[in-house]
């Protein structure tokens, strides 16, 4: 039988768990995720975390800084994998926590939780290098297909990886999307995972090649239409760890410090308390022994 507590300890030490355990873990997580809505309903207090991107030591620092499970409740906004050296361990650790404390951690999908993206930006190669075949990568990709597309905190704070879509005016429309698929190249599901806020009057063309740019008018309309007070999202590097836009109607949270081990940024998480007050926690990259960092071919650059 799969021992989740033992797996957690091994993964925190950057040690591999057997392939059969990865399969069993992914299968168990799918059984949990299939019961979750496209937009998970969460209560306060909850801590919102942005991109992790395979930076395992910084993920461990995050928990040590903010509070360990199950004492704290967490929402992760996707992009668990790619770019960092420990994408597999980071993802599997979060999946283990999901099994161990299913009501204390929520995972939603980012644009990197995709077969196409992970074959380009490192996760596929990492799985191949560590296990000698693509089996583990396939198990993980099947989990990606079951991840929710967003979350709603106290009916007031809408959380998503990327942003808004011109095809969506209400959260109820998001609930009708068939999420159990590879991320499409266009359409509402794609936009939720790829779009970015910007200083545009309405909708703009995204330089990422997927999703849209959306401005303050679209944010105001979406908040009003859905009786919301805040949109919390990730997806973009923020040197200060977080950035509030549009008079505080939207916030970007970034939780990968010193992104790609070279950007020099700090990271942040956002805790929403019972009064919907926002509390930001800033943390820096963990000190790592560079001799222990595995060799890998450099990742292809794209929009940070």
Give the catalytic positions in this structure: 112
Sign of the Cα pseudo-torsion (278, 146, 149, 170, in order)? negative
- In sequence order, the 6+-apart residues with CB closer than 8 A to the CB of 17 are 7, 10, 11, 25, 92
List the one residue out of 215, 28, 182 whose CA is nearest residue 109: 182
The Cβ of residue 142 has, within 10 Å, a number of other Cβ atoms equal to 16
Task: Provide Rg for the chain, Cα atoms.
Answer: 18
What span, in angstroms and rounded, lies between the C-alpha atoms of 45 and 222?
24
Residues in Cβ contact with 19 at an 8 Å cutoff, skipping those fewer than 6 apart: 131, 135, 136
CA distance 97 to 74: 10
Q: Which two tokens stand for residue 162?
A: 């990327």
Q: Strand, helix or coil at 85?
A: coil
For the sheet with 105-107, list strands across it.
Answer: 105-107, 74-76, 46-49, 267-272, 278-283
Instruction: Measure Cα distances from 67 to 71, 140, 258, 290 in Å.
Output: 7, 27, 21, 26
* Alpha-carbon gap, residue 150 to 76, rounded angstroms: 10
Pair of tokens at residue 99: 């099994």
Is 123 in contact with 54 (CB distance < 8 Å)? yes
């Amino acid at each position: 039988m799969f021992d989740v507590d033992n797996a957690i300890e091994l993964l925190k030490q950057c040690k591999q768990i057997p392939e059969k355990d990865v399969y069993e873990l992914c299968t168990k997580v799918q059984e949990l995720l299939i019961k979750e809505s496209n937009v998970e309903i969460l209560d306060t207090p909850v801590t919102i975390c942005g991109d992790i991107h395979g930076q395992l030591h910084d993920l461990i620092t995050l928990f040590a800084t903010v509070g360990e499970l199950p004492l704290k409740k967490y929402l992760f906004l996707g992009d668990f994998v790619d770019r960092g050296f420990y994408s597999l361990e980071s993802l599997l650790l979060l999946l283990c926590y999901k099994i161990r404390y299913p009501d204390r951690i929520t995972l939603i999908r980012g644009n990197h939780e995709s077969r196409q993206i992970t074959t380009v930006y490192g996760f596929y190669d990492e799985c191949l290098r560590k296990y000698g075949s693509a089996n583990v990568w396939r198990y993980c990709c099947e989990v990606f297909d079951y991840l929710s597309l967003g979350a709603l905190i106290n009916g007031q704070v809408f959380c998503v990886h990327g942003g808004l879509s011109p095809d969506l005016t209400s959260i109820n429309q998001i609930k009708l999307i068939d999420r159990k698929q590879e991320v499409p190249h266009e359409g509402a599901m794609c936009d939720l995972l790829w779009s970015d806020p910007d200083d545009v009057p309405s909708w703009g063309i995204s330089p990422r090649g997927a999703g849209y740019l959306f401005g303050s008018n679209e944010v105001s309309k979406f908040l009003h239409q859905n009786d919301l007070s805040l949109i919390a999202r990730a997806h973009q590097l923020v040197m200060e760890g977080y950035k509030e836009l549009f008079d505080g109607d939207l916030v970007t949270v970034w939780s990968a410090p010193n992104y790609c081990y070279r950007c020099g940024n700090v990271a942040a998480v956002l805790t929403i308390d019972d009064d919907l007050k926002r509390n930001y926690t800033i943390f820096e990259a963990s000190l790592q022994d560079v001799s222990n960092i595995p060799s890998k071919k450099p990742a292809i650059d794209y929009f940070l």
